Amino acid sequence: MNHQAEHIHAYLSGVMSAKDVEALKKEIEADEKLKEYFNICKELYANFDENSWNNLPLDQFKEEVKVYESYYKSDKANTIKDAITIAETNYFEKATDTNTATKLLYKVIAIAAVLCAVYIGYYFNTTYEASELYADYKDWETLPSLTLRGQNNEDLVSGERYFKAQDYDKASVIFNKWIEAHPETYNSTVLLYLGISYLEINDTDKAITLFSKVTNSESLDASKGYWYLALTYLKLEDISNAKETLKIITKSTSNSNYKNAQDLLDKLETIE
Amino acid sequence: MLNNEKDNYLKTSLITGNPKGITDIYNLIFPKVLRFVRQNNGEEQEAKDVFQKALLQITARITVKEFVIKSSFEGYLFTACKNLWRRELNKQTKNRVTNDEVVELMTEEQDLGLATVELERWDLFREKLQELSDNCRSLLGYAFQKKPYEEIAKKLGYNTENVVRQRIFKCKKRLTEIIQKDKRFKQLNQL
Alpha carbon separation from B160 to A22, A214, B186 (Å, rounded)? 30, 39, 38
Please identify, among B76, B110, B126, the residue that sits at the C-terminal boundary of a domain.
B126
Please identify, among B93, B126, B159, the residue that sits at the C-terminal boundary of a domain.
B126
Contact with chain A for residue B106, Cβ under 8 A = yes
Do B105 and B23 lie in a common domain? yes
Q: What is the mean pLDDT of residues B94-106?
A: 62
* Lowest-pLDDT range of A100-109, A115-124, B51-60, B103-112: A115-124
User: Taking the model in full, what pTM does it have?
Assistant: 0.61
| Rounded Cα distance, A253 and A142, in Å | 19
Q: What is the mean pLDDT of residues A133-138?
A: 83
Whether the per-residue pLDDT at A100 is higher than 70: the answer is no
CA angle in degrees (0–180, nearest 5) for B16-B22-B24: 135
Higher pLDDT, A117 or B134: B134
Domain boundaries, chain A: 2-55, 57-123, 135-269
The pLDDT confidence band at residue B189, using thresholds 50, 70 and 90, is: low
Residues of chain B with C-beta less than 8 angstroms from the C-beta of A163: none
Higher pLDDT, B117 or A3: B117
Q: Cβ of A91 and B23 within 8 Å? A: yes
pLDDT digits (tens, 9 = 90+) for B134-168: 999 999 998 888 888 889 999 889 999 999 999 99
Task: Determine the pLDDT at residue A117.
Answer: 54
Segments forming the whole domain that contains residue B92: 3-126
The pLDDT confidence band at residue A36, using thresholds 50, 70 and 90, is: confident
pLDDT digits (tens, 9 = 90+) for A172-182: 999 998 888 88
The pLDDT confidence band at residue A103, using thresholds 50, 70 and 90, is: low
Write down the number of H helices and E strands in chain A: 13, 0
The pLDDT confidence band at residue A72, using thresholds 50, 70 and 90, is: very high
pLDDT digits (tens, 9 = 90+) for A172-209: 999 998 888 887 777 888 899 999 999 998 888 899 98
- Closest CB to A165: pick one of B39, B60, B151: B151
Whether the per-residue pLDDT at A124 is higher than 50: the answer is no
Question: Which residues neighbour B156 within 8 Å (Cβ) at sequence distance 6 or greater?
Answer: B135, B138, B139, B142, B164
Write down the number of H helices and E strands in chain B: 8, 0
Contact with chain A for residue B55, Cβ under 8 A = yes
Work out the percent of chain A whose per-residue pLDDT is above 90: 20
- Closest CB to B55: pick one of A43, A84, A91: A84
Higher pLDDT, B48 or A248: B48
Do B106 and B29 lie in a common domain? yes
| Rounded Cα distance, B178 and B191, in Å | 19
Interfacial B residues in 111-150 facing A (CB < 8 Å) = 112-114, 116-118, 121-122, 125, 140, 144-148
| Closest C-alpha among B185, B142, B158, B167 to residue A6 | B167
Residues of chain B with C-beta less than 8 angstroms from the C-beta of A139: 39
The pLDDT confidence band at residue A128, using thresholds 50, 70 and 90, is: low
Using a CB cutoff of 8 Å and minimum separation of 24, what contacts does A206-209 make? A207/A232, A208/A232
Task: Determine the pLDDT at residue B54.
Answer: 97
pLDDT digits (tens, 9 = 90+) for A46-70: 888 877 788 888 888 999 999 999 9
Asked if this assembly's ipTM is beyond 0.95, the reply is no
Please identify, among B126, B143, B161, the residue that sits at the C-terminal boundary of a domain.
B126
Q: What is the mean pLDDT of residues B19-39?
A: 94
* Lowest-pLDDT range of A81-85, A115-119, B3-7: A115-119
Residues of chain A with C-beta less than 8 angstroms from the C-beta of B173: 5, 9
Q: What is the mean pLDDT of residues B115-133?
A: 93
Higher pLDDT, B101 or A219: A219
Q: What's the distance, CA A187 to chain centroid? A: 16
CB A3 within 8 A of CB A11: no
The pLDDT confidence band at residue A139, using thresholds 50, 70 and 90, is: confident
Do B99 and B152 lie in a common domain? no
Q: Which of B59-68, B86-95, B96-105 has the highest mean pLDDT?
A: B59-68
Question: Which residues neighbour B157 within 8 Å (Cβ) at sequence distance 6 or greater?
Answer: none
Do B114 and B150 lie in a common domain? no
Fold observed for domain A135-269: 1.25.40
Task: Determine the pLDDT at residue A44.
Answer: 87
| Rounded Cα distance, A85 and A153, in Å | 48
Task: Determine the pLDDT at residue A122.
Answer: 44
